[in-house]
Structure 1
Amino acid sequence: MPGFIYTYACSEEERSLCHMEMRMLFGIESRLNIIKSSTEIDPSRSPFIKERLEVLYEGDNLSDIMEQVEQIQLGETTFRVVFVKTNDLEGTEKVEYKERLKIERDIGWRINGEADLHHPDLIFGITLLGGRWYFGKYRKSEAIWLRHLKKPREYSTALSTRVARAVANIAVPNPDGVRAIDPCCGIGTVLVEALSMGINIVGRDINYHVTSGARENIAHFGLEGEVTLGPISEVSKSYDVAIIDLPYNLYTHATPEEQFSILKHARRIANKVVVITIETIDDMIRDAGFEITDRCVAKKQLFSRQILICE
């Protein structure tokens, strides 16, 4: 039995990035905007996850769920039941609005507790997927990345907070015991997202003004993180993963030789590197000693970035 069901939402431009994040977080991807997994993820970690259902009961028929929920004894704890909409489902699995409301009410009547539609202590969810019904604890995602849109220090070429959050998840899907570094951190967009998810990450950059800005941005959101000044060539510690938003020729006039040097030093200090680039640099990455194990494209209108997992 799957432990969790997650629903997703992303634009067509974000789909490639969303699917890579899925693969890293769950080991699989789903072409539908819903995924079943035994992996427990805080839904607020991902900019694409809408909600999570922690499965308590399942059955072939809705009547199976009706019988099982009668076991729930909440006492004075208030609750609400919501139907988790799966808009990609068609045919017999598509449940119309009025029927969803009826199902919510019918299940609610069978739970021993006090219903509260506005401020419940617990929210339960019910959904139909793959011909089976699932019921469990419901949790809606919070768009934490939205809180980080307005920073004291801005940088016109920085990643969006939404992309930065997905990149942090791709690089560090399970933060336990993982040490990460962003050696070209700029004003700290990736650092803020990673630190807000409890990822152990440090930042570094060769530009004094941007490292100062990164520290200010991190502190602005009540986070703590180390940001040092200097080139990646001076990094002596080893890390499990490095995130490198490669300096772009278009903006920073970094030469191919300088880009290659960054990659070579990344190979020296990290077991895995997530590279973000606006150019196709597969040959350069291979020459630096990496193998590209996965890739996606993050688009925004006519502008696109390649995100490469290198090991």
Structure 2
Amino acid sequence: MSTTEYIYTYTWHKDEYDLSRMEMRSFFGFDVPLNALKSSVQIDPSRSPFIKQRLEVIFEGENVEQLARLVEQLDLGGATFKVSCLNKLELNSTQKIGHSKRNEIERTIGLCIQGEPDLIHPQLDFGVVTLDDKWYFGKLELNEAVWLQHQQKPEMYSTALSTRVARAVANIAVPNPEGFRVIDPCCGIGTVLVEALSMGIDIEGRDINPLVVYGSRKNIAHFGLQGNVTIGPIEEAEGNYDVAIIDMPYNLFTHITADSQQAIITEARRITKKIVIVTIDTIDHMIEAAGFEILDRCVAKKGTFERQILFCN
């Protein structure tokens, strides 16, 4: 029995390159240095701030003519369709294809599909792409950029993670949400909570500051999400979690000592076996002292400001 393959195309800002690769490793178990990846792992492209689109491969061939013959087999059941060529940009070692040539490819494939084309509101979106000397045709799903809707929150502060970084961190912690129970014990105004909840991740938050807990609850409700946020330190957290996401407090309003940082990480070890830590300080020794091992890491940049992202087990 054949395994379905998916082609993912990526886009990122240069400051996000390392973060995008760490998220890629979490999703697929490996990364690639360029902007297209093929895998049998199915990921909703809208989960990632870096995946541009996903092609679920139905046919592959040596050239467009071979693909055209293959698509004649499709039965759309009366549904309308659209075909898009994905080679608008250079993909890995494959050069981009010009506009007129892409249109010609789309017409060649589209004319062989038994159905009614609709370029505005198709019921089915198909894609065709050439990648590394092969041609592929399949179902196309675009990234809906959900995190953009979360940028303007009722409650905000300047040092919070961006929605893109928060979404990537949630994905690094939880590549597959099914059956995962997650805690964010220093949740602040809930940037990570909003992104995680919007992806169906079972996450709860807590914070020692009642004002930011109020802000976090308000932000979650603003986007029509439901999540539990508790006032109190991590020392009061009970039960067991599959992973903890900890964005270490660091600004002037939540000044934290090295001893307090160590206490947070040590308490996390009590309730979970895995953590993803966001920190502006190098705290490898604290992580090791708490009994964790750093398995993966990257640096997320914003201009000259840097955060370390650490995945630990």
TM-score category (smaller protein):
over 0.9
Match of 2:133 in 1: 131
Match of 2:111 in 1: 109
Q: Distance in 2 between matches of 1:293 and 1:274?
A: 10
Corresponding residue to 1:170 among 169, 172, 176: 172
- Give the CA deviation at 1:264: 0.3
Code of the aligned partner of 2:79: T
Q: Distance in 2 between matches of 1:224 and 1:264?
A: 29
Corresponding residue to 1:209 among 208, 211, 221: 211
- Give the CA deviation at 1:118: 1.1
Q: 1:15 to 1:92 in 2, by over 3 A?
A: closer
Match of 1:28 in 2: 30
Which stretch shifts more, 264-273 or 85-94?
85-94
Structure 1 unaligned spans of 5+: none
Code of the aligned partner of 1:288: A
- How high is the TM-score relative to the length of structure 1? 0.97
- Give the CA deviation at 1:87: 2.5
> How many residues are treated as equivalent by the alignment?
311
Secondary structure class of the residue paired with 1:212: helix
- Correspondence 1:87 to 2:89: yes
Match of 2:69 in 1: 67
Secondary structure class of the residue paired with 1:239: coil
Secondary structure class of the residue paired with 2:273: strand
Q: Distance in 2 between matches of 1:29 and 1:92?
A: 18
Code of the aligned partner of 2:174: V
Write out aligned runs for 1:238-257 (5 A). 238-248=240-250, 252-257=254-259
Match of 1:188 in 2: 190
Which stretch shifts more, 87-96 or 118-127?
87-96
Secondary structure class of the residue paired with 1:117: coil
Q: 1:186 to 1:18 in 2, by over 3 A?
A: same
Q: Distance in 2 between matches of 1:86 and 1:273?
A: 39
Q: Distance in 2 between matches of 1:91 and 1:203?
A: 44
Q: Distance in 2 between matches of 1:202 and 1:57?
A: 42
Does the CA-based 8 Å contact 2:94-2:131 persist in structure 1? no
Secondary structure class of the residue paired with 1:202: strand
Code of the aligned partner of 2:10: Y
**Residues 200-226 of structure 1: CA deviation (Å, up to 9, x unaligned):** 000000000111111111011000000
Corresponding residue to 1:58 among 40, 57, 60: 60
- Correspondence 1:233 to 2:222: no
- How high is the TM-score relative to the length of structure 2? 0.96
Structure 2 unaligned spans of 5+: none
Q: 1:235 to 1:294 in 2, by over 3 A?
A: same
Q: Distance in 2 between matches of 1:7 and 1:62?
A: 20
Q: Distance in 2 between matches of 1:206 and 1:254?
A: 12
Q: 1:52 to 1:90 in 2, by over 3 A?
A: closer
Match of 2:41 in 1: 39
Corresponding residue to 2:307 among 297, 305, 308: 305
Does the CA-based 8 Å contact 2:92-2:131 persist in structure 1? no
- Give the CA deviation at 1:94: 4.1
Code of the aligned partner of 1:64: Q
Code of the aligned partner of 2:27: L
Code of the aligned partner of 2:173: A
Q: Distance in 1 between matches of 2:195 and 2:118?
A: 34
- Of all paired residues, the percent bearing the same amino acid is 60
Does the CA-based 8 Å contact 1:32-1:88 persist in structure 2? no
Match of 2:101 in 1: 99
Does the CA-based 8 Å contact 2:94-2:130 persist in structure 1? no
Code of the aligned partner of 1:149: Q
- Correspondence 1:49 to 2:66: no
- Give the CA deviation at 1:90: 7.4
Q: Distance in 2 between matches of 1:76 and 1:86?
A: 29
- Give the CA deviation at 1:75: 4.5
